[in-house]
Structure 1
Amino acid sequence: MEVLIYLVPLALSLGLLGLGAFMWSLKTGQYDDLDGAAWRAILDDDQIPPAAGQKKAPTSSPAP
């Protein structure tokens, strides 16, 4: 039972540390645009889409 003298303050300090980290993340705007971050992860920005009215360039020439 004497170990509770150490564990209770340790648990409270860890809880306050987690609460402080959460409040800091709210204050710095980490949760402002959740949908935008999700779409940026999904979209493939490596390829540039063709302009309107243009055909896609073939990736390889057809065999004769």
Structure 2
Amino acid sequence: MSPIPTGRLFGTASGNGTDMAGDVGPGWEYYLDMLVASRDGSPTPDFHDYHPAMQAYYRGLSPETPNGA
């Protein structure tokens, strides 16, 4: 049995500012879970389980609270 290759994945989202955390954060998490599913054969996630469901969580991580949030 050959070893499973390992590595690191780095991602950035520039130019969005903290006001987009509620939209960008759930998307990144969704795409990472899609990557895992493609590698290990697990069921693919449903985007609606991430957005808008996780918006409040990611907005809460932001050091600034955007107007109207």
State which structure, 1 or 2, has the greater radius of gyration over its C-alpha atoms. 1
- Shorter-chain-normalised TM-score: which range? 0.3 to 0.5
TM-score w.r.t. the length of structure 1 is 0.36
TM-score w.r.t. the length of structure 2 is 0.33
